[in-house]
Structure 1
């Protein structure tokens, strides 16, 4: 993923929510959780609220690490979402802002979902979200 922002730094609140998710699901790799959180937010039909996000934690990653083996697909999905929202999918600043907003919203959604109690319950939700994102791209 050629991220529009490097490094991607999370807020303290998001970092805390990721730690909570790691404990609930036993998924130790927080970048995997971030990928799933991004998909969770992109699957939502509404846009994330345009709020200012404090990148005040020490938790950061590069776009390549965030995207991992599905980085190109995630970037394409983010660009598609920008296009559908009437935002410029080729404007670097717009992509950077939308990436931060979707990533933080997705982390918040996953951490606050009472149905997520285990790795299996998280996987079921993520699978549904991936199908939704893929369907919107076709």
Structure 2
């Protein structure tokens, strides 16, 4: 399945937020934390604000590394979310929405005062 982007370059703010999450959760891989953030944003009912996000950090991931074995599922989840939000599912829209969801989700996780360890991430995912 065709990914919305081939390379993901994070903002410096997102990098700093990921560093905080790494310290708290002890998850060292950027891609795993990014997946958690992306999914956290998709779970939010509102559409992400269309704010400009600079690609001003030195953190860069390929889609293959970001998505891993879940790559196709993440692409489908993004397409479904764009459809539900009455946005297009063309490559440009998907790329833009992916970037917005990724950064918003990282911000949500980093800003959550209840996330102090990996079990706290799991509790968020399993909360009803």
Q: TM-score, normalised by structure 1?
A: 0.88
Unmatched tracts of structure 2, length 5 or more: none
1:106-117 matched pairs, under 5 angstroms: 106-117=105-116
Query: Partner residue of 2:103?
Result: 104
* Separation of aligned partners in 1, 2:2 and 2:27: 25
1:6-85 matched pairs, under 5 angstroms: 6-85=6-85
Runs of 4+ in 1 over 4 A off after TM superposition: none
Unmatched tracts of structure 1, length 5 or more: 133-138
Query: Partner residue of 1:135?
Result: none
Query: Partner residue of 1:4?
Result: 4
CA change 1:76–1:45 in 2 (3 A) is: same
* Separation of aligned partners in 2, 1:93 and 1:18: 26
More displaced 10-residue stretch of structure 1: 115-124 or 17-26: 115-124
Q: In angstroms, what is the RMSD of aligned CA positions?
A: 1.3
Q: TM-score, normalised by structure 2?
A: 0.95
